[in-house]
Amino acid sequence: MTILVTGGAGFIGSNFVLDWLAGCDEPVVNIDKLTYAGNLENLASLQGDARHVFVKADIGDYDVVLDLLKNRHVRAVVNFAAESHVDRSIHGPEDFIQTNILGSFRLLEAVRCYWNGLADAEKQAFRLLHVSTDEVYGSLEKTDPPFSESNQYQPNSPYSASKAASDHLVRSYHHTYGLPVLTTNCSNNYGPYHFPEKLIPLCIQNALTGKALPIYGDGQQIRDWLYVKDHCSAIRRVLAEGQVGQVYNVGGWNEKANLDVVHTLCGMLDELQPRADGKPYAEQITYVTDRPGHDRRYAIDATKLERELGWKPAETFETGIRKTVQWYLEHQDWVNNVLSGDYQSWLDKNYAGRDA
């Protein structure tokens, strides 16, 4: 048997592929368009490993996807491929519509065609797991209960709106065509191979290179943080045991204000790699103009996943952040390779207009 992973050269997808092949020998076909966020270096340890087949392709390429599904006799698809950065969606929503909505739609069509042609037993066993985000539920007030699977969808950014659309399409393909789908909605991930445009890796790197640590607005926005390997274990559990057609929220029970996250990072760097001048990294914290439409709080209620499938995160925020900071300190080559010309122009676009 074989699984097909999309977006497996990105942050979560590459962690998933690496963990999957560390845990079993079932081959992975990995489709990735290699946008700015896709990086084959994440998968360098799999070079020459026949269990991993990489194909540079767009999930919206119906013919390529259908051929791969047929030729590789795929028994499950895990869909990570997406445009994933809220700030980029504000500067240019088009790519988000193309990949997250149209790309997901074409992927669903290819999967539906393949699935229709399977023998009954294979049809029953087949799964499409769609990886989504808690951001589709919108923003919570301070005292609201965390998001459960029955929360209304209220996406507020072009990113979350495009993910919401893909979630709805996935749901409809189950309801209408009987496609055996599963959806996971996860909170903010962090860990190895996280692209340094996102808060945690950006602040680690800016701290180490003496740059400002940009805090949007008052820094009191709350996110629920989950170590990426815990997200991957949740996906494996849902894929193996999830009930077809169901949605599972995935979270780390780690609600933190952004400013507290950055202070935690600074404290850890003070301990592991103190500044040459002996001053605390927190001195580099700088308040900048807020993100337009910035959601105030996300929080995930992951009790369904624990109750029904027995999943719990293995890491606390403290253990996960320590592993993450250590990983970045030990993988400065990886970071430096990512900091290409494209990355620089993104920083100019996103931060130049924000007053310090």
Catalytic residues: 134-135, 159
Residue 304 Cα distances to 256, 301, 312, angstroms: 22, 8, 11
Binding segment toward ligand TYD, per CB under 6 A, in 21-29, 112-120, 198-206, 316-324: 198-206
Q: How far apart are CA 179 and CA 76, in angstroms?
A: 12
Whichever of 275 and 291 has its CB closer to ligand TYD, that residue is 291
Contact flag: residue 346 with ligand TYD (CB under 6 A): no
Tell me which of 3, 21, 37, 238 binds ligand NAD, using CB under 6 A: 37
Contact flag: residue 231 with ligand TYD (CB under 6 A): no
Contact flag: residue 202 with ligand TYD (CB under 6 A): yes
> In what order do the strands lie in the sheet containing 247-250?
52-56, 28-32, 2-6, 74-79, 127-133, 181-186, 247-250
Residue 103 binds which entry of ligand TYD, ligand NAD, none, with Cβ cut-offs from 5 to 8 Å by kind? ligand NAD
Give 282's DSSP letter.
G
Q: How far apart are CA 183 and CA 70, in angstroms?
A: 23
Q: Which of 23, 17, 354 is nearest to 213 (CA)?
A: 354
Whichever of 61 and 134 has its CB closer to ligand TYD, that residue is 134
Contact flag: residue 258 with ligand TYD (CB under 6 A): yes
Tell me which of 5, 17, 33, 165 binds ligand NAD, using CB under 6 A: 33
Contact flag: residue 34 with ligand NAD (CB under 6 A): yes
Q: Which of 260, 304, 313 is nearest to 146 (CA)?
A: 304
Q: CB neighbours of 73 closer than 8 A, spacing ≥ 6?
A: 1, 2
Contact flag: residue 188 with ligand TYD (CB under 6 A): yes
Instruction: For residue 147, give both structure tokens.
Output: 């998001």
Whichever of 31 and 215 has its CB closer to ligand TYD, that residue is 215
Contact flag: residue 192 with ligand NAD (CB under 6 A): no
Whichever of 195 and 281 has its CB closer to ligand NAD, that residue is 195
* Least distance from ligand NAD to the Cβ atom of residue 33, Å: 4
* Least distance from ligand NAD to the Cβ atom of residue 250, Å: 8
Residue ranges in 96-155 that form contacts with ligand NAD under rule CB under 6 A? 99, 103, 131-133
Count CB atoms within 10 A of the CB of residue 318.
Answer: 11
Q: How far apart are CA 40 and CA 352, in angstroms?
A: 30
Instruction: For residue 225, give both structure tokens.
Output: 């943080």
> Tokens 């996971």 label which residue?
184
Q: How far apart are CA 193 and CA 80, in angstroms?
A: 15
Contact flag: residue 12 with ligand NAD (CB under 6 A): yes
Contact flag: residue 20 with ligand NAD (CB under 6 A): no
Contact flag: residue 66 with ligand NAD (CB under 6 A): no
Residue ranges in 133-172 that form contacts with ligand TYD under rule CB under 6 A? none
CB-CB contact of 193 with 156 (8 Å): no
Q: Which of 219, 100, 222 is nearest to 158 (CA)?
A: 100
Size of the site for ligand TYD (CB under 6 A): 12
Within a 13 Å sphere around the CA of 263, how many CA atoms are in the beta-carbon half? 7
Whichever of 235 and 325 has its CB closer to ligand NAD, that residue is 235
Binding segment toward ligand TYD, per CB under 6 A, in 43-51, 73-81, 215-223, 307-315: 215-223
> Tokens 């092949």 label which residue?
21
Residues lying near ligand NAD in the complex (CB under 6 A): 6-7, 9-13, 31-35, 37-38, 58-60, 80-84, 99, 103, 131-133, 163, 186, 188-189, 195
